[in-house]
Amino acid sequence: MKIDAYEKLFLGLTVVALACFMGALAAAVNRHGIRLPHPTARVDPAALRAAPPPPFDQLGLVDKGGGAYDLNLLAAMWQYEPFFPDKMEAGVRVPAGATVTFNVSSPDVIHGFKIKDTNVNVMVIPGQVSTVTHTFDAPGVYTVLCHEYCGAGHHRMYFKLHVDPPAAAGADAGRAGGES
Amino acid sequence: MSATAGFTLPRQDERYMLWQVYLGLAVFMWGIFAGLAQALDRVLPSTSTLWKLFPGQETYYQGLTAHGVFLAIGFTFAFSNGFMLLVASRAFERAPNRAVNAASFWCMTVGAVLVAGTIVLGKANVLFTAYPPLMAHPLFYLGLVLVVVSTWLTGLAGALLYRAWRRDHPDARTPLQAFAFLATYAMWFIASLGVAVEVLGLLLPWSLGLFDKIDPQLARSLFWFSGHPIVYFWLLPAYLSWYTMIPRQVGGKLLSDPLTRLVFLLFLLLSTPTGLHHQYTDPGIDTWLKNIHLVATMAVFFPSMITAFSVCAALESGGRARGGRGWFGWIRKLPWDDPSVTAQILAMIGFTLGGLSGLVNASYVMNLVVHNTAWMPGHFHLTVGTGVALSFMGISYWLIPHLTGRGLVWRRAAVVQAWLWLIGVFTFSRGQMAGGLESLPRRLSVSQMSYGADIPAWQTSHLLTGIGGTIMFISGLMFGLIVLWTVLRGPAAGRVDMPVADAMVHGPDEGWPVLERWPVWIGLAVVLIVLAWGPFFLTYEWNMVSTGVAP
Ligand code: HEM
Ligand SMILES: [Cu+2]
Ligand SMILES: [Cu+2]
């Protein structure tokens, strides 16, 4: 089969471009440590409410010490429990520099879990536990939102994660938010 | 009647094709009404009742289900079935098996009625992805099955044509357009098995109550087994037109017949081993499996780049044959007054940007930024919503006159219509993509949203989406009126012939004989699928835990 010179050149450049893209991806993964979500645990969605297994027996923020936190959430129609509608704005507070591990699972349908201005982006699929970790260096208010259609109230499903500047972060950081 | 030297396609056979095209265009019109409601929902102040003005949309998500299902599945499949079988019949110079052709039409019609009916009655507010455990009425799933079966029947009709033709021409090369049909429908038949298993094995019996728990993670993977190749099933009929019709329409030459075949075969090979790139963020799937699909996804960029080169070369040869000079002078000489050509060239431009944004989606780490955000609708309104849909509009501008014998009315308006669509979709996608980069979620009623008013970037996004979507709608409405008026009132002597690019730089005889060996290519496609999907399906442990939830 005959391929003309210009076309050969063009296809060669395409291959080079694709190789560059793959190289950039490899660099992002290896040098910057960006990882995709991957399997961590499974859970029976019905048990999440009836007899929640760890870590979902303790919803909300859990201070693990040393700047590490767990945030255990039920993504349910249509809130991230324990942040029920009246607690969505207040959400949760952590000090700047906190490393938060999010454990999220759904007792009903598929939901999403995305934190604006971060690389946290994971599906929440009944039967699976979604676990992602992020270090919040920049203080500010982060919007956490559901980005998968989950029924009639999908557009109401969010909460706010407040990252306090170092000075303001008090000893109460671990207790704030929807936990009670 | 379609006639080329010595061959006449019987009117009755054509009629099934024509009516399948009409059906596709009808659901297109319905779909863009829903689209307008979605676009306006982003700009009008908290009018949570707005979309009730549109038929069958008690809620935003009911309308969005109609939009996704009608446009991504109904319009594309029905149009392709009618158009592609006509092309194959003409290329083989044979009438298709009438019973199979008729069965395809009736399956599509009954399927469309079931799907549309359940959506309008509010029994299927599950969006076109129909992810369980959101549960729809069983008739919704049954309707989807019939729609897919209809594509299988059209594929079968083409395969039967090929068998009969091959008997008479044991050593000849398959006509190029027929070859493209075969590759397209073979690809889709294999690819559709995933969603067939999902619906027939899981969703339908589950919705009928035969068992009550289902595995949402498994269902998603079965869905995306078909869900990525489906985009090439939408696209390849447009590619067929760009490769084998547009060169003729612009008075140019197809660059290479064998390379065109190779491109279609590459899609047959590479379309399906890619689906997990829709599931980069799924918690239940190992990263190394996602990586395999990443590589195949990057590879499938390659045939699209060959296409970009070949199609531009054909356009350039046309422009130069019409007296164009210099680096860019040939562009002005293209027949911009021909709405069929203009619509398809603009579709190519939109598609180029859509394809490039697709590279972003595929790129794994960047997917974490854009997955399930408004970026995605921004991306695929450029690809399927323009590359495919605007091409189908362009094709309609000769296809409808061809099949009805009525001349196209309002040609100027048709040219304007094509430009309006491009302007509209650029505005729309600019808005959606900008919002998406700022984490604006997709599939969401903005007027009812309880958060986000404090994010300025989102407000710009909504505005551009609203304006662009409205322009697209006006363009789509113009298209519908032009087609309708052509059918009802077009001048009677208007029959135009189907464009066939028979002038080529490199003809079919230069191709490797192996290009004709279907068992080799289909076998290879199956091997690649087994390599890419086998590890997932073999290692994945079923997790049937979810009961159905009404949305
Ligand atoms: C008048 C033209 C159109 C307008 C105004 C329009 C508008 C929209 C909007 C605003 C969305 C996003 C909804 C959301 O995420 O909440 C959307 C989604 C979508 N559109 Fe369009 N659209 C148009 C034409 C098309 C065409 C021609 C196609 C395909 C052939 C198409 C296919 C889709 C699909 C598949 C979705 C995703 C549905 C889902 O997320 O379930 N649209 N459209
Ligand atoms: Cu949700
Ligand atoms: Cu949601």
Please judge whether B368 and A148 are an interchain contact, meaning their C-beta atoms are less than 8 angstroms apart.
no
Is B381 designated active site?
yes
Q: How far is the CA of B177 from the centre of ligand 2 (A)?
A: 46
Listed in sequence order, the residues at least 6 apart from B534 whose beta carbon sits closer than 8 Å to its beta carbon are none
The residue of chain B with its CA nearest to that of A2 is B510
Ligand 1 atom having least distance to the Cα of B129: 41
Query: Any CB–CB contact under 8 A between B453 and chain A?
Result: no
Residue keyed to tokens 């339908």:
B204
Q: How far is A167 from chain B (nearest CA, A)?
A: 25
Active-site annotation holds for B261: no
Residue B275 in tokens: 């689906």
At B44 the pLDDT is 82
Please indicate if any CB of chain A lies within 8 Å of the CB of B449.
Answer: yes
Ligand 1 pocket (Cβ < 6 Å) reads: B 32, 35-36, 38-39, 64, 67-68, 71-72, 75, 127-128, 377, 381, 384-385, 389, 442-444, 465, 469, 472-473, 476
pLDDT at B370: 95
Contacts of B311 (CB under 8 A, 6+ apart): B242, B243, B246, B348
DSSP state of B513: G
pLDDT of residue A168: 52
Domain contains B88: yes
B442 is catalytic: yes
- Cross-chain residue pair B369–A44, CB shorter than 8 Å: no
Q: How far is the CA of B38 from the centre of ligand 1 (A)?
A: 8
Say whether residue B311 is in contact with chain A using an 8 A CB cutoff.
Answer: no
Closest residue by CA, ligand 1 atom 27: B385
Q: Is residue B162 part of a domain?
A: yes
Residues paired with A143 in a beta bridge: A160
Candidates B116, B87, B66; CA nearest to B180 is B87
Does residue B166 have an active-site annotation? no
Which of B386, B376, B452, B463 has the alpha carbon at shortest distance from B419?
A: B386
DSSP strand E in B352-461: where? none
Residues of A in contact with B287 (CB under 8 A): 35-36, 38
DSSP A56: T
Q: Using the Cα atoms of residue A68, residue A74, residue A79 and residue A82 in order, give the sign of their dihedral.
A: negative
Residue B424: inside a domain: no
Cβ–Cβ below 8 Å for A114 and B441: yes
Distance CA B267, CA A156 (A): 41
B314 token code pair: 């054909």
Task: Mutate one of B51, B286, B372 to test the A interface: name it (highest A CB count within 10 A).
Answer: B372
Point out the residues of chain B with pLDDT beneath 70: 1-6, 45-53, 55, 494
Sequence-distant (≥ 6) Cβ neighbours of residue B299 within 8 angstroms: A18, B270
Is residue B146 a part of any domain in this protein? yes
Distance from CA of A127 to the nearest CA of B (A): 6
CA distance B381 to B157: 31
Residue A113, H or E segment: strand A111-115
ipTM for this prediction:
0.91
Q: Which amino acid appears at position A85 of this protein?
A: P
Q: In a 10 Å sphere around its CB, with 0-12 CB exposed, 13-18 middle and 19+ buried, how is residue A172 labelled?
A: exposed
Q: How far apart are CA B230 and CA B236, in angstroms?
A: 10
B207 belongs to a structural domain = yes
Q: Answer whether residue B123 is part of any domain.
A: yes
Residue B208 lies inside a defined structural domain of this protein: yes
| Interval B472-519: pLDDT, tens | 999 999 999 999 999 999 998 767 889 999 888 888 888 888 999 999
pLDDT of res. A179:
36
pLDDT tens-digit map of A139-176:
999 999 999 999 999 999 999 999 999 865 444 444 44
A37·B451 Cβ contact <8 A: no
- Picking from B279, B286, B551, the nearest residue to A152 by CB comes out as B551
Quick check: is B478 in a domain?
Answer: no
Structure tokens, A80:
């991230």
Which residue among A123, A130, A147 places its CB closest to the CB of B442? A147
Angle at A117 (CA atoms; ends A113, A121), nearest 5 degrees: 25
Could you identify the residue written with the tokens 């899609």? Answer: B267
User: Which residue of chain A comes nearest to B261, CA vs CA?
Assistant: A1
Output the six-digit token pair for B105: 């039409």
The nearest CA of chain A is from the CA of B541 a distance in Å of: 11
Distance in Å, alpha carbon of B464 to nearest chain A alpha carbon: 20
Provide, as residue numbers in chain A, all residues whose Cβ is less than 8 Å from the Cβ of B439: 114-117, 143, 145, 147
Distances (CA, A) of A161 to A130, A145, B371, B435, B467: 18, 11, 20, 20, 33
Q: Which of B94, B173, B381, B402 is catalytic?
A: B381
Using CA atoms, how far apart are residues B224 and B235, in angstroms rounded to an integer? 17
Could you say which residues from 50 to 109 on chain B have a Cβ atom under 8 Å away from some Cβ of chain A? 59, 61, 64
Got the DSSP string for B421-462? HHHHHHHHHHHHHHHHHTT-BSS--STT-SS-TT-HHHHHHH
Record: contact A129-B283, CB cut-off 8 A? yes
Full domain range(s) for residue B63: 9-227
Per-residue pLDDT of chain A (180 residues; tens, 9 = 90+): 778 888 899 999 999 999 999 998 888 888 888 889 999 999 999 999 999 999 999 999 999 999 999 999 999 999 999 999 999 999 999 999 999 999 999 999 999 999 999 999 999 999 999 999 999 999 999 999 999 999 999 999 999 999 999 865 444 444 444 333
Identity of the residue numbered B511: G
Considering only the beta carbons, identify the residue of B286, B309, B439 that sits closest to A116.
B439
* B462 assigned to active site: no
CA B199 to chain centre: 20
Read off the amino acid at residue B385. Answer: G
Residue located via tokens 């391929």: A3
What is the structure's pLDDT at A31?
A: 85
Under 8 Å between Cβ of B499 and B252: no
CATH code, B139: 1.20.210.10
Q: How many domains does chain B have?
A: 1
Helix (H, G, I), strand (E, B) or coil at A84: coil
